[in-house]
Amino acid sequence: MRRHVFQALLTPDEECGGYTICALHYPGVVSEGETLEEAKEGISEAFLAMLESRVAHGESMMYSDLPVVEQEENSRVIRIVVDG
């Protein structure tokens, strides 16, 4: 099992509650959660699903040197650690 560490942008949804979370350097790795823990769990699952799909198709991980999402005023960058 391999450990993956990446940065994600966590944005509180002020209108509906909960959070949206996006991997900063991995296009399409996005999730939501009612709580911070649910959001972290969701982005971890989304990352692993992307990784499994790319490996199954013989493709490398899609990594962007530049962030793929823009940081909003109420967003913050957090560190995510995933084993898989």
Q: What percent of the chain has pLDDT over 90?
A: 74
What residue ranges define each of the domains in the chain, with the CATH number in brackets? 3-83 (3.30.160.250)
Per-residue model confidence (pLDDT) at position 55: 86
pTM of the model: 0.89
Give SS3 for 17: coil
Residue 49: pLDDT above 90? yes
Q: Which residue type sits at 16?
A: C
| CA distance linking residue 16 with residue 66, whole number of Å | 29
Q: Which helix H or strand E contains 39, and what residues bound it?
A: helix 36-56
Per-residue model confidence (pLDDT) at position 60: 81
Q: Which two tokens stand for residue 62?
A: 């899609």
Q: What are the beta bridge partners of residue 57?
A: none
